[in-house]
Amino acid sequence: TGGGTEADNLAVKGAARSARPRGAGDGVVTTAIEHHAVLHSVERLEREGFRTSIVPVDGDGVVDLDALAGALDARTAVVSVMLANNEVGTVQPLAEVAALVAERAPRAVLHTDAVQAAAWMDVATEAAGAALVAVSAHKFGGPKGVGALVVRQGVSLEPVIDGGGQERDLRSG
């Protein structure tokens, strides 16, 4: 992708838009402290008729797991929880989040924005429960304008950029 913002957009919008016509859900859940790439994607999806929920965090910036559990249901298609926050340094309990998603919204895919975490954490281990992981190269010594969305096998996405069909029909360019 062209960076973390595009990766987040493809993950959140692409997974939600792919789920609805397949009958796999219309709900999108995220936290109040996500990057604007996620929050604005969720707002866009809400304008498109998706059910959305933004769950609170505690005073330390950690997602309220009870509120998250209450926001999940069988119709939830996408859950997005940032791995590490760049402003307050909070690391989310992603394994616990993944367990809640599996229990309460088994058809949902879990996305994590790991852009801020990649330079400091073992993202492969910390984000093991996520089906979609966004990173941006400039955060760990790579060039600006280069990012990636790691997509677990079997996850269905609808492209957000139409055209020539490159990148397995997910990102034309």
User: pLDDT grade, residue 173 (50/70/90)?
Assistant: low
Check: pTM over 0.75? Answer yes or no.
yes
Nearest to 100 by CA among 132, 134, 73: 73
C-alpha 57/C-alpha 54 separation (Å) is 10
DSSP, collapsed to helix, strand or coil, labels residue 84 as strand
- pLDDT tens readout for residues 90-123: 999 999 999 999 999 999 999 999 999 999 999 9
- pLDDT tens readout for residues 117-166: 999 999 999 999 999 999 999 888 889 999 999 999 999 999 888 777 76
- Determine how many CB atoms are found less than 10 A away from the CB of residue 61: 17
Q: What is the mean pLDDT of residues 61-90?
A: 96
